[in-house]
């Protein structure tokens, strides 16, 4: 067993000891500018040194309260001792794995846990939810697009204005959040239609106008939706919005892809955000 300290060494409230950015941060930002890609779009010059719980320290010793949990991912806080211990133990034991080629006990165990907790109704034939592990949100969405097209043998995908699904080509084609994310990258994936997010009026438009004129539902492979829209402005959809998408999908044999990259894993009080939002309406 590897010992991991649980002692908190950072102040538990913000502490500014330099003007911002401090001298060390300024120097690093300058060096960064000459050697890293300009496609990293940083909003402000925070140069992070370490994190502990919900506190972050920059390279000049200034301490901040991290109200955004990293980029909405450190739900257990920065450097949670149990998470650190698990990573240390695993890396000391086996650092390289390839789930596409071999089997690992931890992979089976994690898939079982996720399958047990997945918010899907029990299948009539007793089959369980199955898990595909990926490296990032974009890769998950690429996998979901491929799965939906392969399984349904259809090509159309409906996504929402304001959505962010990632920066690879398929995921970017589903994204409609900021112009800069798509500008000058066309042609994107064909067959994607965007409609406004979160309202019944938008689903009326889909059903009454698009389905009857230019988008036969029998040609749609999937509807992809964030249970709470993130980059688009932290929008909780109208009551019944997600349930209505579920019904539409069931009616026309369309797959429902729920992108919980930003809203999920406990952040709404439920492990899966869809379980929280869909049940509130
Ligand atoms: C809803 C949503 N989907 C997908 C992604 C892409 O995830 P990644 O940056 O891990 O590719 C993000 C990233 O912010 C996201 O917010």
Which tokens belong to 244? 């209505």
Ligand 1 within 6 A of CB of 138? yes
Tell which CATH classification among 3.90.1150.10, 1.10.760.10, 2.60.120.380, 3.40.50.2300 matches the domain 23-91.
3.90.1150.10
Mean pLDDT of the 222-232 span: 97
pLDDT score of 281: 42
β-sheet bridge partners, residue 50: 57
Domain ranges in the chain with CATH number 3.90.1150.10:
23-91
Mean pLDDT of the 242-262 span: 97
The alpha carbon of 36 and the centre of ligand 1 are apart by a number of angstroms equal to 21
Ligand 1 within 6 A of CB of 230? yes
Those residues with Cβ within 8 angstroms of residue 166's Cβ, 6 or more apart along the chain or in another chain: 136, 137, 138, 139, 141, 142, 172, 174, 175, 261
Percent pLDDT > 90 in the chain is 87
Domain ranges in the chain with CATH number 3.40.640.10:
134-278
Residue 137 phi, psi (nearest 5): -65, -45
Per-residue pLDDT for 35 more than 80?
yes
The least confident of 1-5, 84-88, 174-178 is: 1-5
Mean pLDDT of the 255-265 span: 95
Q: Where residue 280 falls among pLDDT bands split at 50, 70, 90?
A: low
Ligand 1 within 6 A of CB of 162? no
Ligand 1 within 6 A of CB of 262? yes
CA separation for the pair 226, 259 (Å, rounded): 5
Compute the mean pLDDT over every residue in the chain, rounded to the nearest whole number: 94
pLDDT score of 2: 66
CA separation for the pair 70, 60 (Å, rounded): 19
pLDDT score of 8: 79
Those residues with Cβ within 8 angstroms of residue 120's Cβ, 6 or more apart along the chain or in another chain: 129
The alpha carbon of 72 and the centre of ligand 1 are apart by a number of angstroms equal to 10
CB atoms within 10 A of CB 132: 11
Those residues with Cβ within 8 angstroms of residue 261's Cβ, 6 or more apart along the chain or in another chain: 137, 140, 165, 166, 230
Per-residue pLDDT for 47 more than 90?
yes
What number does CATH give the domain 134-278?
A: 3.40.640.10
Residue 159 phi, psi (nearest 5): -130, 180
Three-class SS state of 51: strand
CA separation for the pair 228, 258 (Å, rounded): 10
The least confident of 86-90, 183-187, 249-253, 262-266 is: 262-266
Per-residue pLDDT for 120 more than 90?
no
What are the CA-CA distances from residue 94 to residues 3, 102, 104, 125, 277 (Å)?
18, 13, 10, 37, 38
CA separation for the pair 155, 246 (Å, rounded): 19
Mutate to test the pocket of ligand 1, among 71, 137, 140 (most ligand atoms within 8 A of CB): 137
CB 95 within 8 A of CB 80: no
pLDDT score of 65: 98
The alpha carbon of 267 and the centre of ligand 1 are apart by a number of angstroms equal to 15
Closest CA to 140 of 269, 6, 261: 261
Ligand 1 within 6 A of CB of 137? yes
Ligand 1 within 6 A of CB of 232? no
pLDDT one-digit tens code per residue, 136-175: 999 999 999 999 999 999 999 999 999 999 999 999 999 9
Those residues with Cβ within 8 angstroms of residue 22's Cβ, 6 or more apart along the chain or in another chain: 58, 59, 60, 61, 62
pLDDT one-digit tens code per residue, 4-22: 777 779 999 999 999 999 9
The alpha carbon of 2 and the centre of ligand 1 are apart by a number of angstroms equal to 33
Q: Where residue 121 falls among pLDDT bands split at 50, 70, 90?
A: confident
CA separation for the pair 130, 74 (Å, rounded): 25
Which tokens belong to 163? 């959505």
pLDDT one-digit tens code per residue, 176-188: 999 999 999 999 9
pLDDT score of 41: 85
């Amino acid at each position: 067993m590897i010992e991991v300290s649980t002692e908190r060494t950072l102040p538990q409230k913000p502490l500014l000891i330099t003007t911002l950015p401090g001298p060390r941060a300024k120097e690093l930002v300058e060096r960064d500018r000459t050697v890293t890609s300009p496609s990293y779009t940083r909003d402000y010059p925070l140069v992070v040194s370490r994190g502990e719980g919900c506190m972050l320290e920059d390279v000049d010793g200034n301490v901040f309260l991290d109200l955004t949990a990293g980029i909405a991912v450190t739900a257990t806080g920065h450097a949670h001792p149990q998470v650190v211990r698990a990573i240390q133990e695993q890396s000391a034991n086996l650092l390289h794995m390839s789930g596409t080629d071999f089997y690992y006990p931890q992979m089976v165990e994690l898939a079982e846990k996720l399958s047990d907790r997945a918010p899907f109704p029990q299948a009539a034939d007793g089959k369980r939810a199955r898990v595909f592990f990926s490296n990032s949100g974009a890769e998950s969405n690429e996998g979901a697009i491929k799965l939906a097209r392969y399984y349904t043998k259809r090509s159309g995908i409906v996504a929402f204005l304001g959505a962010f699904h990632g920066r690879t080509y398929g995921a970017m084609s589903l994204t409609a959040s900021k112009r800069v994310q798509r500008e000058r990258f066309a042609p994107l994936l064909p067959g994607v239609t965007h409609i406004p997010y979160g309202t019944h009026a938008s689903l009326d438009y889909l059903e009454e106008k698009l389905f009857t004129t230019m988008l036969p539902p029998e040609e749609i492979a999937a509807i992809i939706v964030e249970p709470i829209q993130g980059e688009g402005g932290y929008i909780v959809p109208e009551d019944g919005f997600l349930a209505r998408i579920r019904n539409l999908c069931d009616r026309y044999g369309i797959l429902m892809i729920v992108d919980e990259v930003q809203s999920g894993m406990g952040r709404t009080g439920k492990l899966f955000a869809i379980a929280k939002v869909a049940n509130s309406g």
